[in-house]
Every structure is written in C-alpha cells, then in structure tokens.
Structure 1
Amino acid sequence: MALIYSNPVSAPFLPLPASAAPSYAGQRACSTLILSCNYGGGHRSAAQALSQWWAHGRSHWQVTVFDYFSRFVHPLYARATEFSYVQSVRLFPPVYGFFYELTANIPADSRTQQFINHLGKQSLLRYLRQHPADLVACVHPTPAGALSDLKRDGLIDCQVATVVTDLVIHSQWIHPYVDLYLVGSDCVREGLIRRGIRPERIRVTGIPIVPRFTEGVNRQAARRQLRVRPELPGVLVMVGAAGMIRKAIDIYYAIEDLPVELFFVCGQDQHLRSRLRALTHGRPRFHVLGFVDNVPELMAACDFMVSKAGGLTISEALAMELPMLIYRPIPGQEHANRDYLVHVGAAVSARNQRELRQRLIALCSNPGLLKRMRAAAHAVRRPYATEDAARAMAALVEGVEP
C-alpha cells in the first residue's frame, strides 16, 4: 500500500487488528486520489481518516492526498483563500454568512458556478492524464465541480465521489456528474434528492473521523489520567482553529465561578492560549491547552463540550455521545449544523452571554438533561462513518457491494 501525502499532515492511526484487515493478494492495484484543502480543519481531518483507513483496510490501494488549491490552482491562491477565510470568520462573520447564503442555490450550469469549477481544472486534467486514477474522492466542493465538468466533457473516466463534511446541504456540493455522495445525515440525503440527485447515488455514512473516537475510551480511566476530580463535572471547550478569542473569554467569564473541571483547547492559536492562561492563573481546575492529540480522552473525561458547530468536531462528539453547548457558531453551515443538533436533542444553543450562562448552569446542575442529550447523540451517531464511506467508495471501483 503506497500512501502519499502532499501538504496535509498525517495524524496518528491505530492499525486494524490482523483479523479485521482483509487480504487482497492477487488483485490489481487501485489508484485513489483524495482532494481536500488545508483550511477549515474538518476537510483535512476527513481526508486523513479515509486515507489512513485505506492504508490498513485495502492493502492493494495506492492513495495520494493533495491540498487541491495548493497543488492544482496555485500556492498563493491557497494561502490567500485561507487568510480570507480565517479573517472573515474571525472579524466579519455576518459577511461570511451572507456569501454562504448568497451561493446556497447557484445552479450547476450558471456562469458563476462554471467559473468556480474552472479553478484548477486544466491542471487537474493534466495530472490525471499523467497519473490515471480509478477513484477521485473530493472532501471539498471545488474539486468536485471541476471533476464533474471533466466527466461531462468525456475527458476522464474515473469514478468520482464527494464526501460532504457538514450535516446540511449547500449547492456548492452538488454536481451532476459525481458518481457517489457520502453524507453525514438523512437531512443531507433528502436535500440532495430534492435538488435532483438520484437516491441510489447517495449513501448516509456519517462524516469520516479517525478510529480513536470509536474505540470506546474508558471514561473513568480518562478522568483519572486527566486528574478530573470525581465530584466535579468536566467541561471541554473547543473554540476552533480560527482563534475565536472573544468567544473563549465569554465562556471563561460565564463559567469561572461554577464548580467544574475545565479544559480549554486552543489549538495552534498562541495568542488565545496566552490570554486564557493569564485569565486562569492561580485556578488549578482550569486547564489551558494548545494543540493536543488526546481529544478522544478529553471527550471521554468530560460531561459536555462547549464549541462552535464544525462538521468534524460535532461528528467526533456525537461518536463519543458527548452532549454539546453550541455558542455563537459561524453564520452559514455552522448555523445549520447547530439547528440539526438542537433538533435531534444532542445539543443546546446559546446566542449571547446571558443564554450562555443559563445553559452552563443547567448543564452543570442537571444530570437528567445530560443523560437525555447522551441518548439523543447515541441515536444519531455514526461511529463507523470512515469505514462505511471507504467501503462504499471501494465498492464503486471494484463493482461489488460494500
């Protein structure tokens, strides 16, 4: 199995047991290209989860992972779009939400959509002619549009699959010549069907996540490892890679006097980490963390999570049956993700500091509420999303049932 990465950083992976890894001796090698992007960490994480599953579950597959914008558009374009995305969601979230809604119903044959589809298309075509692929899996909508146009024009004959990394649908994900859609919820499936995608081209698998979130981390062992005091509820705060400092500070002031063991995960945002460390100085039950590789253990040890509503983070929390408090999500897909979670009962939402305080008090003092939310998460979680999605795509290429 050849596993080739360009730009994305591989996350740790626990291999399948020998008995669970099927043998494909004698089968021809299958070439798979995964196209993602390096901003909005959910796209990258889903691509990593899929590539790592194939590395251990399909020994005769060669998988290559690219950041589509860096490899096929231009590295400067990739950096510019990443900067624009981060700054817009950090400084001007209503503007980001406005453009999200503005593009929500663009027809596939419109000039605007054709312009978007053209980004990187010729470079991608040259690559596929030099390196033919059996399957191209898109974990971002832009390459899916380019591939759909190439298939329409008869310029490629590989299978094309799209992995939708939100729990709601948007027109940017919908392209008529995509062979298979892997989606996170029945809501997305119904949205695709309403927009003309045939049901047999859609599989509800869940959003791919790495296996560590599905392996049953022991709650008591995790609490002991993280030194969570038995009498206190554990609260995990994940505010996103875009460095939502104002939101994090709101959360701190809303919870500072409550009897909790609190874990702030700041990721790569050193400024946010420094601000929170200054605020929490002298409070031993408040833990400010940077980039961590033990999120499954943190989720297992905590009673609920305060977060935005990014598709991958909430899929990981659902897999762990972790109740969620969604605070001021980014307008657009995160608003829709929040609405889905609240509708199914796995989350509560806070629009402002007053509601945030009320929700925190309720979650910290009402075990029955948390129990109901855990049951709701259990009902909709899809812990085997990565395997189900990877097997469905493999079946598309190999011509067998997944």
Structure 2
Amino acid sequence: MVTAGRRVLILSAGMGAGHDGVAAELARRLVADGAEAEIIDVLQLLPLRLGPMLRSGYQWVIRHAPWLYEATYQLFFVAKRAPSTSPLTLLAAAPLGRLAGRHRPDEVVSTFHLAAQVTGWLRRRGRIRARSTVLVTDFAVHRLWLHPGNDRYLCPNPAMTGHITAMTGRPALCTAPVVRPRFRPRVAECARTRARIGADPGDLLVLVSAGSWGVGAVTETARILASSGRYRPVVLCGHNARLRNRLGGGGTVLALGWRDDVPELMSAAHALVDNAAGLTCVEAFAAGLPVVSYRPIPGHGRDGALAMARAGFSVHAPDAAALLDALDRLRDERQRDLQIARASALFTSMPAVAALMSAPADLPPARTGRAGSCHR
C-alpha cells in the first residue's frame, strides 16, 4: 500500500448519522495507517444556508410526509429520464473545486451521493486533479450515486459491482463495510447491560432501530413485539425526545435515547429490527446480530432492505405475522448461525483503506468528456 503522507479529503453529509459515521471511521483508519485525512460536509458548501435547509426539509418529510419523499425518489433518484445534473451539484461544484485547490489532496472520497455527483462533475472537467473514489454506503445504489467522471467505486454489496460498472464505465470493487471496531461478536456482560436499561433477566430483547432522527413506524413495531408476549422491544429513539416520551410510559417497551453503548446492547439482544438499511444494520452484521427489516422508510431505505434480503444478509418481513415468524425462526440455532454467517462474510472482502491506498498507477484514468449523466 502507498500510505504514509498521502492526503485524503473525505466528503460526507449530515443526513442522519450514517454517512458521517462511515466518514469518521474511514478517517480514523487512514490516519492510523499514516495518511492525512480531513472530513468536509458537502452540505456546508452550498450557498445561502441551503444545506441546513435541505437537511431540515428531508427530516420533516421523512417524519411527516414519507409519500412525498417516495415521489421525489422515484422522480429524481431512480427514473431513467431524470435530469442528468441537479442544481445542487452545480451550486456545490465551485466551492469544492476551490477547496480541493487549497488542500491539494491525493484522493477525494465521497460517502454521500451528492458529493459523488459533484466530484464526478468536477473531475470530468479537469477541475479536480486528485483521484476521485466513491465509497457507496448503501446496499442498493440509485442513479445519484453514479457519475462517470469519478475514477472508481467501492461498495459493500458484491451484487452491485457489475451494475455500477455498466452504468458508469468505471471500475467497481466490493470492499468490507466500514464499521467501528467496537462492533464485533463477543460474549458481553449481558446481565449488567440488561440492568442498565431496566430489562428483566428473562426478557428476550429485540432492538428496534429508528435511526439518529427517530423516524419510521417504530411505534407500531414496538406494539407488535410487545403484544406477542415473546419479545421485549428496546427502541433506539436517537435524538427524537418526543418518540422516547411517547413510548416510555412504563409499559413493556424500553425506549432509549441516543446511546454510546449500542455494541453492548447488541450483544444482549436476540435480533435487530431495522427500518433504514443504514449504518446500524451494518454494525449489527459486524456484531453478529441477526437483522430483520420491517416497514422500511421509503425510497433508498426500502430498496436497501430488499437488496440485503435478496443477498441473504437479513430478512425482510412484509407484515406483522412475517416479522414475528422471522424472529421465531432465529430461535433455531441453525437458522440463526446461517444468517449471521452470511452477513459476517461481508467483512472478508478487502478493507476500504487497502483499496484507497493502492498505488495510483493501478487504476486507469477517468474518461474525459462533457457528459454528466450515468445513463446509457
């Protein structure tokens, strides 16, 4: 690997905690290997405070009008005839070009789809000289991740590499998901963890993830689990205090706010019920905790959940009966071990840092041209 002294600029976005979590861990690994790494929130490059407005608007829509996000996703993220370049790409391009000129990185890494569009646009026009790599954080890739101006793509799902190359003409490599080392299979002090959150020794705990924003149909999920009499839901409400207060009324549901002990909670749980197919899912894979997707948020959340299930990494439950059935099946050790093994295999792929630190000569240069679309 070519590591020591290399400068890497990582582009993320504060849309929830997932993209930033991947960026932070990637930076930590790069620095440990002797590189210099800096993280930039691409939303902060947008003028007129459009970045915070975009974040707030997306959060409101996901919470209160998910149908509107689904319509937007279908129109702009996956439609074949969608515009090739968004106004946001053009607005962020000039600030990022100036930033790259000042920092003079050897590599620019995008962990968010808007960043991938901007770097591809700039790279194709020769306004970024550094190699541009897109680290896809989703299990299902939509068109806004893809731009032929980027040099290469790294992704966690081996089923995506062929599609990415077909859409962009650029190399795509399957790499292990980027997860903090705290998330690993272990035998923890479950009794202490249970006592800390108020669970009884005999409870079969099921974590319910609502992301850092506490969104989705998690109230319904918790009710289904609690009313079964077989599982005690532990809802990770993130920063949503209203959701925590609504669920934490002293009943059978354990509602928790933002936590730093999620690895310990995972080690004490029977399964994770997830609705976003994001970083929490991947952390569960690393921790050896089976994942069941139920009522995923629209758009990329649903598509990611279905892609994970098709690959055998998780189970997608289309209704309440299927949710309970999936959790019941995981009580069979053979079924449980098989699902854990499939998900754990993701981490046998090449580490993302090893791919990033490969010699520049190992990669053909990006094609030149003016087109900015991933469409054929």
> TM-score by structure 1 length?
0.80
Distance 2:322 2:104 in 1: 56
Cα gap change, 1:349 to 1:379, in 2 (>3 Å): closer
Structure 1 residues 46-125: aligned runs within 5 Å: 46-56=22-32, 58-59=33-34, 61-70=35-44, 72-74=45-47, 76-105=49-78, 112-113=84-85, 115-125=87-97
- 1:268 and 2:239 are equivalent in the alignment: yes
Structure scoring higher RCO (CA < 8 A, sep ≥ 6) equals: 2
Match of 1:217 in 2: 186
Q: Secondary structure at the match of 1:331?
A: coil
Q: Which moved more, 1:230-239 or 1:293-302?
A: 230-239
Question: CA offset at residue 53 of structure 1?
Answer: 1.1
Label 1:359 to 1:396 Cα distance change in 2 as closer, same or farther (>3 A): same
Question: Quick check: 1:268–1:291 contact (8 Å CA) kept in 2?
Answer: yes
Deviations 1:236-280 (A, max 9, x none): 1112233337x22212322224143432211111111111112xx
1:131-174 residue CA offsets vs partner (Å, 9 max, x unmatched): 21111100112122222222222222101110111101211111
Q: Write the distance in 2 (CA, Å) between the matches of 1:322 and 1:177.
A: 38
User: What does 1:229-268 align with in structure 2 at a 5 Å threshold?
Assistant: 231-244=202-215, 247-257=217-227, 258-268=229-239
Which amino acid in structure 1 is aligned with residue 66 of structure 2? P
**Which residue of the partner structure matches residue 338 of structure 2?**
375
1:189 touches 1:202 (CA, 8 Å); kept in 2? yes
2:373 maps to what in 1? none
Q: Which residue of 1 aligns with 2:135?
A: 163
Residues 382 and 163 from structure 1, CA distance in 2 versus in 1: closer, same or farther, beyond 3 angstroms?
A: farther
Aligned to 2:151: 179
Distance between the aligned counterparts of 1:382 and 1:365, measured in 2?
A: 21
Stretch moving more, 98-107 or 294-303: 98-107
Write out per-residue CA displacement over residues 302-333 of structure 1, whole angstroms, 9 at most, x where no aligned residue: 11111203321211122223222222111111
Count of residue pairs brought into register by the alignment: 359
Q: 1:63, 1:365 → 2: CA distance?
A: 44
Give the Cα separation in 1 of the matches to 2:350 and 2:29. 7
Question: How big is the shift at 1:181?
Answer: 0.7
Deviation at 1:340, TM superposition (A): 2.1
AA aligned to 1:375 is L
Taking structure 2 as the reference length, the TM-score comes to: 0.86
- Structure 1 residues not aligned, in runs of 5+: 1-21
Q: Superposition pairs for residues 16-27 of structure 1, below 5 Å? A: 27=4
Does the C-alpha gap of structure 1 residues 347 and 373 become closer, same or farther in structure 2, counting only changes over 3 Å?
farther
In 2, Cα distance between the equivalents of 1:197 and 1:365? Answer: 42
Give the Å deviation of 1:96. 0.9
Which region of structure 1 is more displaced relative to structure 2, 130-139 or 322-331? 322-331
- Please, which of 257, 281, 293 is the counterpart of residue 314 of structure 1? 281
Which residue number in structure 1 is paired with residue 11 of structure 2?
Answer: 35
User: Structure 2 unaligned runs (5+)?
Assistant: 364-376
